[in-house]
Amino acid sequence: MNLAPVALFVYDRPEHSLRILESLSQNTLASQSDLVIFSDAPRTSEHKDKVTAVRAVVCRVDRFKSVQVIERERNWGLAASIQDGVERICDEQGKVIVIEDDLVLSPYFLSFVNAALDRYQDESRVMQVSGYMFPGKYDPSSDALFLSLISCWGWGTWKRAWKHYDAHASGFVRLQHDASLKRQFNLGGAYDYFHMLEQQMRGEIDSWGIRWLLSVFLAKGLVLYPRQSLVKNAGVDGSGTHGIGVASLQSELGPPDSRYSQPHLPDEIELDVAAMEQVRRTLRAANSGIMTRLLRKLVG
The CATH number given to whatever domain includes residue 118 is 3.90.550.10
Identify the band that residue 241 occupies on the pLDDT scale cut at 50, 70 and 90: very low
Domain of 206? 6-298
Residue 99 has pLDDT above 60, yes or no: yes
- In a domain? residue 292: yes
| Separation between Cα atoms, residue 196 and residue 202, nearest integer Å | 10
Tally of domains within the chain = 1
- In a domain? residue 245: yes
Identify the band that residue 291 occupies on the pLDDT scale cut at 50, 70 and 90: very low
DSSP state of 11: -
Residue 293 has pLDDT above 90, yes or no: no
What is the tens place of the pLDDT at every residue in 113-153? 999 999 999 999 999 999 999 988 898 888 999 999 999 99
Residue 296 has pLDDT above 60, yes or no: no
| Separation between Cα atoms, residue 31 and residue 62, nearest integer Å | 9
Helix 208-218 and helix 193-201, axial crossing angle in degrees, nearest 10: 120
The beta strand positions in the chain, using DSSP E, are 6-10, 34-39, 66-71, 95-100, 103-105, 126-130, 144-147, 155-158, 222-226, 231-233
- In a domain? residue 161: yes
Residue 243 has pLDDT above 50, yes or no: no
CB of 116 within 8 A of CB of 264?
no
**pLDDT value at position 246?**
39
When pLDDT is averaged across residues 189-210 and rounded to a whole number, the result is 95
**pLDDT value at position 239?**
37
pTM: 0.92
User: What is the percent of the chain where pLDDT is above 90?
Assistant: 81
Angle CA(57)–CA(257)–CA(157) in degrees, nearest 5? 60
Residues in the chain: 300
What is the tens place of the pLDDT at every residue in 20-65? 999 999 999 999 999 999 999 999 999 999 999 999 999 999 999 9
| Separation between Cα atoms, residue 286 and residue 281, nearest integer Å | 9
77 torsion bin: left (phi>0), alpha (psi -120 to 50), beta (else): left
- In a domain? residue 107: yes
- In a domain? residue 233: yes
- In a domain? residue 210: yes
- In a domain? residue 120: yes
- In a domain? residue 1: no
| Separation between Cα atoms, residue 47 and residue 272, nearest integer Å | 44
